[in-house]
Amino acid sequence: MLPKVKLLERLVESGVIAVIRRIPEDRIEQVADSLVRGGVTALEITVDSESAYASIATLSSRYQGRAIVGAGTVIDSESAVMAIKSGADFIFSPSLHQGVIRAALRYGKIAVPGVMTPTEMITAVEWGADLVKLFPAAALGVQYLQDVKAPFPHIPIIPTGGIDEHNVAAFIEAGAAAVGIGGKLLNRRAIAAGDFAAVEQTARTIVDAVRRARVDCGKSA
């Protein structure tokens, strides 16, 4: 089991957390394989998906050393504990729940609650969150992220919702630690057709865009 500091490094390593929601059970391993080949180092299985806990167990065992697996859409502590016992290394929520944060921290896992306002951000950190998920990111916009990073440069923020290859660089340049991407990363038509190469290519394109944006940020600094 990786120590938490290593889990945090792996979570943001590629800059992309893949949000895997309601993918057919018989295709989830092929989809996950494609994402990992494309450079994604963090796979989030939403607990509203069929057989979510079984998928977390399977994938967390499958990608040891290559990627970490966690749970998403977690809104109660019971679901958080079930996910962790299934092998989840991180817990994402769409909203702010103290019980979920406490459950993750109790087991030494990463807690990433969903927030929107500055008050929610600082409350999440005071409750022990490791990072925060800014949701819905596209609706709030890049400028919003940049504005809240000004008073909170110490809070790692992961924007999620509506991010794709066209706007991901802007979010990274505005200060995002990483981004969460679901539907824009997982083309359901391609998955239904068994075109996993397309999924891999999309992942690679977005991961490369993040890498370039990070390099540009370093140059501008």
- Kindly list the catalytic residues: 44, 133
User: Would you say 179 and 171 are in contact if contact means Cβ atoms under 8 Å apart?
Assistant: yes
Distance CA 221, CA 219 (A): 5
Residue type, 127: W
Contact status, residue 167 vs residue 136, Cβ threshold 8 Å: no
Tokens 């991180």 belong to which residue?
90
Q: Which of 117, 116, 146, 110 is nearest to 131 (CA)?
A: 110
- Tell me the one-letter amino acid at 86: S
Query: Which residue shows structure tokens 């890049």?
Result: 142
Angle at 216 between CA 160 and CA 40, to 5 degrees: 45
Residue 179: CB atoms within 10 A of its CB come to 27
CB count within 10 Å of CB 192 equals 10
> Please, are residues 17 and 180 in contact by the beta-carbon 8 Å criterion?
yes
